Structures are given as structure tokens and as C-alpha cells.
Amino acid sequence: MKVLIMAGGYATRLWPLTKDKPKPLLPVGIKTILDFIMEKVLELNVDEVYISTNKFFEHKFKPYAEKYGVDLIIEDTYREEEKLGTIGAIKNALDSLGLDDYLIIAGDNIFSLSLRDFVSKFTGKPLIAVYDVGDLELAKRYGVVILEGNRVVKFIEKPQEPPSTLISTGIYALPRDVMGMIDEYLKYGNKDAPGYFIQWLIERGIEVYAYKFDDFWYDIGSADSYLESLKMLMKESYIGDIKVSPYSKIIPPVVILDGTRIEGRSIIGPFAYIGRNCLIENSDVSDSIIFDSTVIRNSTIWRSIIDEKCEIRNLELKKSIVGGHAKIQRGD
């Protein structure tokens, strides 16, 4: 079995944050989303692991490929309008790697599922990992499944009226013969998304099975889900080589990276990620993510994400995303 991690999207729902950062490489505490996935993959002890991405972000993924000893599969696209789509990217990988059984994993999800347990249930029939999101409104965003026992009898991609809150999580074990059907699926102009492919298989009489898991699953598709994953997974503090004023307070858990200065009467935390070489002065930061080399003075930041090299002065920011290199202030 080969493992293929899909990381070729341009994450437009998180722009401007992801204009220059691939979503799988966003930090969640001291790890990236991809680190969490790779830790799960390494438990499998498989020899062939690949990350599928695009030309625009190739240079960002190279250090991670070297770190984990995996190979990159590159689709020749540079922007959202050119991207192949997930099934097109899988076909692109197959053209290079050949037919085999594949474990396919969405590169922007964080999950509690043991991939070892999941693969142990793979019997040569398509197997998908499913999770109960517990909310019909939330289920509208995903592929909803109807089960009879463990067999998937219906798969509805992003339904307007979901019949269930059980959804597909973007983790699939697909056998060689099913992978060989991708050409036929695309040939007839079918929609380029895994959910529609699974739906197509079921309509053709192919048996598809589900493996249900509990605990947690985060699709990092919005600022809210990104911040929620941070709160869930930031169990302990990590504080690098920083300078902290004796009048400032740090409330764990937090991650504060090297070179950052906390000055004046600041309060950092809980659930704050502060990147490298930031300056936080007379400000409160909680439930937020602040990227490298950002300056925050006389401000309150809550449930917000501020990209690198920004400058924020005299503001109260709540539930906001600020793009890189922005300067925002109120008054002098």
C-alpha cells in the first residue's frame, strides 16, 4: 500500500493568511498540521509515502519531505484557477507512481483516528473514515454518509438537507482495481471531488465500507476551526528564548517562539501562539495566533489570526484575520 497525502489546494477560504502559506504547514502549537498527519502515518511503517502539492508551494514542502524522508508529487499549477482538483491530482500521482492499493489522506485535517487501526480494517474493498459532527447545519459542508451496518449505502456530497450528521473525513483506503477506475470517472466529465467519486462507485454497485471514529476531527477550513484545533491540541506551554517584562503575565498554555519580547503590562494567554521575533507591548493576547515579526502595541487581541510582519496599535480585535505586512492603528 502506498500513502498519498493531498496538499495541492490554495485554501482560498483562509485568504489572505494562506496566499503565501500552504494550509498543511500552518502551525498548531509547536507542530504544523502536516506534522500531526505524518506522526500518524509513521505508525504504519510503510515504505512509500508521497505528498501531492503544486508548483507554487513546492519549495515550502521540500524541507518537510526531507525531514520525513518522503517524496513530493508536483502538479504543474501556480494558482487556484489552474488547480487539478483532488481526483485530478490523484490521477497525476497515479501517472507517476502506478496502480496499487492507496491510503489517501486530506492534508488539511487533524484527527484522533489511528491509521494503523483504520488500515487493519481494509479488506480490499473501498474503506472511508467517518465521523459524527453532531450538527445538521455543519454536516451541510461535507459529504454525508448513510450506513447499513458498516456498509455505505448512500453518499451525498454537501447536501442542502443532510439526512445524517455522519460525514466523510477525507481519509480513504482504496484498492488497486478502484484506483484503476479513476480514468473512466474523469473521462465522462464527472465532478472532480472524492465524495462524488465515492458516490459514483456506490451507484455502480461497488461495495464501500466505513470505519467510524470518535474523539476529535478538525477540518482546517476556516479561522474558527483553525483556532478550535489550537485550543484542543495545545495541552502544554512551549516558551522559547524570549524576553518578558516583570510587569507582564503569561497564562498557560501558550507557545511563544524565540526572539519575541513581551513588554510593559501585557497578558499573554491562554491559548496564544506567538511566532518568532514579535513585540507585544501593553497588550492582551488570548485564543489567537500571531505570526512572525509582528508588533502589537496597546491592543487587545481575542480569537484572531494576525499574519507576519504586521503592526497593530491601539485596537481591540475580535474574531479577525489580518493579512501579512498590514499596519492598522487607531489614533496617533
Supply the pTM of this predicted model: 0.90
Cβ 289 vs Cβ 302: under 8 Å: no
**C-alpha distances out from residue 90 to 109, 174, 235, Å:** 17, 12, 35
- pLDDT tens string, the chain, 332 residues long: the values are 999 999 988 777 777 878 888 999 999 988 999 999 999 999 998 889 999 998 999 999 999 999 999 999 998 887 776 676 788 889 999 999 999 999 999 999 999 999 999 999 999 999 999 999 999 998 998 999 999 999 999 999 889 999 999 999 999 999 999 999 998 888 877 667 888 899 999 999 999 999 999 989 998 888 888 998 998 889 889 999 999 999 999 999 999 999 999 999 999 999 999 999 999 999 999 999 999 999 999 999 999 999 999 999 999 999 999 999 999 998 76
- Compute the distance between CA of residue 216 and CA of residue 208 in angstroms, rounded to an integer: 23
- Compute the distance between CA of residue 224 and CA of residue 133 in angstroms, rounded to an integer: 15
In the prediction, which pLDDT does 277 show? 97
For the domain with range 2-232, which CATH number is right: 3.40.50.300, 3.30.70.20, 3.90.550.10, 3.40.50.1260?
Answer: 3.90.550.10
Helices (H) and strands (E) in the chain, counts: 9, 30
Domain residues of the chain, as ranges? 2-232, 234-329
Closest CA to 5 of 105, 102, 88, 144: 105
| Topology annotation, domain 234-329 | UDP N-Acetylglucosamine Acyltransferase; domain 1 (2.160.10)
Angle between helices 86-97 and 194-203 (to 10 degrees): 80
Torsion angle in degrees (nearest 10) through CA of 110, 116, 120, 125:
40
Cell 483556532, residue?
A: 227
Query: Where would I find the beta strands (DSSP E) of 125-165?
Result: 127-132, 143-148, 151-157
Q: In what order do the strands lie in the sheet with 279-281?
A: 243-244, 261-263, 279-281, 295-297, 311-313, 327-329
In the prediction, which pLDDT does 81 show? 66
In the prediction, which pLDDT does 223 show? 85
Closest CA to 34 of 55, 10, 15, 61: 61
Residues making up the chain, counted from first to last? 332
Note the helical H segments in the chain.
33-42, 58-68, 86-97, 115-120, 136-139, 176-179, 182-187, 194-203, 223-233
Assigned C-alpha cell, 291: 505570526
